[in-house]
């Protein structure tokens, strides 16, 4: 199916260019009145838009392979800086748009629960012939929850889970009101979430007093997200229905299942000032891993990195340190197949 069958996104080039760097293949074509048309830089498989990058001159069997999963209201561009960095380090990186986000079409059955998102990921990996090898999964927020759920179903396909403030042990429904309230006042809640001012307020809430480069990252991403929600007709429903159908609150059983697979290692990155998914959730993850690890040597399986003066958007606020942390962690698998090395930063 050609890219012309998908929604077109438009933006000022100045807002998009900071996010489209490196080797992703993105193209921006001039449009009328200085507004440019943003065409999908990746490929399509069924409803899914994805970017699969293999470093030049490196055999696919000779590099670590990483799959990146974005958050509930984000898109593939969230991972572009990390992909640039990891490909430059000699690793292969796959990142894609969840159903209804970015350039991907809506869910085929109109639902946005656990089964739909896991099947989207599994089908894409099968299409790329990546189901029979161990991969690193990097997930932010809902993406971290999705990565863990996937690992509970397909542990043989997972080498590590690199989780940036993951959902899944929230203990409450996000957005400040209960799930029952949202279901009872469906239209009202959706109208609230569709309001651009409310959306932008929540995006800014994901940063902790940004300045300098962090502020530039925030403003650029806000521009892109406004465009996505304006131009992709599925974005609002994908966000809303994921929030109410996907298991964001408690996946304790699935975490226990993954913890029982001693070959899977965990790396948690968290902002100390995260109001969306507070760092108080981290001990719950670690306690479950410790309880269900067969070897009772969970300390060798779990690495953590806490970022001071940082909210929910870790990648935007501390980009350099996040890239270095994840890169060092993945490199450690190349140096030592028996465990994860200590990361010194």
90 occurs within a structural domain? yes
Strand, coil or helix: 110: coil
Residue of 254, 258, 268 lying closest to 294 (CA atoms): 258
36 occurs within a structural domain? no
Nearest-angstrom CA–CA distance, 212 and 68: 26
For residue 269, CA distances in Å to 2, 40, 163, 266, 334 come to 38, 30, 6, 10, 21
| Strand 9-11 to 135-140 pairing | unpaired
Nearest-angstrom CA–CA distance, 80 and 20: 7
Residue of 307, 270, 323, 284 lying closest to 144 (CA atoms): 270
Nearest-angstrom CA–CA distance, 74 and 221: 9
Instruction: Indicate which CATH number applies to the domain containing 92.
Output: 3.40.50.1820
| Residue 179 belongs to domain spanning | 45-335
CA angle 279, 287, 255 (to 5 degrees): 90
254 occurs within a structural domain? yes
Give one DSSP letter per residue of 154-199, joined into a string. Answer: -GGGEEEEEEES-SSB-SS-STTS-HHHHHHTHHHHHHHHH-HHHH
Q: Tell me the pTM.
A: 0.83
Crossing angle of helices 212-231/319-335, nearest 10°?
90
Crossing angle of helices 142-153/252-259, nearest 10°?
50
Kindly state the helix (H) or strand (E) to which residue 335 belongs, with its residue range: helix 319-335
Q: What is the pLDDT along the chain (345 residues), one digit of tens a residue?
A: 333 222 233 232 333 334 333 333 333 322 112 223 557 888 999 999 999 999 998 888 889 999 999 999 999 989 999 999 999 999 999 999 999 999 999 999 999 999 999 999 999 999 999 999 999 999 999 999 999 999 999 999 999 999 999 999 986 555 444 444 344 434 444 554 555 666 778 788 888 888 888 888 888 888 888 888 888 888 989 999 999 999 998 999 999 999 999 999 999 999 999 999 999 999 999 999 999 987 655 557 899 999 999 999 999 999 999 999 999 999 999 865 443 333 433
Kindly state the helix (H) or strand (E) to which residue 215 belongs, with its residue range: helix 212-231
40 occurs within a structural domain? no
154 occurs within a structural domain? yes
Nearest-angstrom CA–CA distance, 281 and 171: 9
CA angle 48, 222, 20 (to 5 degrees): 55
How many structural domains are present in the chain?
A: 1
Nearest-angstrom CA–CA distance, 46 and 131: 18
325 occurs within a structural domain? yes
For residue 154, CA distances in Å to 7, 79, 160, 264 come to 33, 23, 12, 11
Q: Are 194 and 236 in contact (CB under 8 A)?
A: yes
Q: Are 202 and 276 in contact (CB under 8 A)?
A: no
Q: Are 148 and 289 in contact (CB under 8 A)?
A: no
Nearest-angstrom CA–CA distance, 9 and 11: 7
330 occurs within a structural domain? yes
206 occurs within a structural domain? yes
């Amino acid at each position: 199916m050609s890219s012309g069958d998908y929604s077109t996104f438009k933006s000022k080039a100045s807002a998009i260019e900071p996010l489209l760097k490196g080797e992703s293949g993105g193209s921006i074509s001039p449009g009328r009145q200085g507004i440019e048309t943003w065409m999908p830089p990746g490929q399509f498989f069924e409803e899914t838009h994805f970017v699969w990058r293999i470093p030049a001159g490196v055999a696919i069997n000779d590099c670590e392979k990483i799959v990146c999963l974005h958050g509930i209201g984000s898109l593939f561009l969230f991972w572009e800086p990390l992909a640039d960095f990891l490909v430059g380090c000699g690793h292969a990186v796959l990142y894609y748009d969840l159903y209804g986000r970015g350039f991907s079409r809506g869910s085929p059955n109109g639902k946005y629960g656990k089964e739909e998102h896991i099947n989207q990921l599994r089908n894409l990996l099968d299409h790329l012939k990546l189901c029979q090898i161990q991969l690193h999964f990097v997930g932010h927020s809902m993406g971290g929850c999705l990565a863990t759920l996937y690992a509970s179903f397909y542990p043989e396909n997972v080498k590590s889970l690199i989780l940036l403030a993951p959902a899944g042990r929230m203990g409450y429904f996000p957005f400040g009101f209960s799930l029952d309230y949202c279901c009872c006042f469906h239209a009202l809640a959706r109208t609230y979430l569709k309001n651009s001012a409310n959306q932008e307020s929540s995006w800014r809430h994901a940063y902790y007093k940004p300045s300098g480069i962090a502020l530039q990252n925030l403003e650029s991403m806000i521009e892109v997200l406004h465009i996505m929600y304006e131009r992709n007709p599925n974005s609002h429903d994908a966000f809303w229905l994921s929030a109410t159908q996907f298991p964001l609150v408690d996946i304790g059983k699935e975490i226990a299942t993954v913890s029982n697979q001693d070959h899977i290692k965990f790396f948690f990155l968290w902002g100390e000032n995260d109001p969306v998914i507070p760092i108080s959730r981290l001990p719950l993850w670690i306690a479950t891993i410790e309880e269900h690890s067969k070897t009772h040597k969970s300390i060798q399986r779990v690495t953590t990195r806490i970022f001071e003066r940082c909210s929910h958007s870790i990648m935007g606020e501390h980009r350099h340190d996040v890239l270095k942390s994840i890169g060092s962690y993945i490199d450690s698998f190349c140096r030592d197949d028996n465990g994860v090395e200590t990361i010194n930063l």
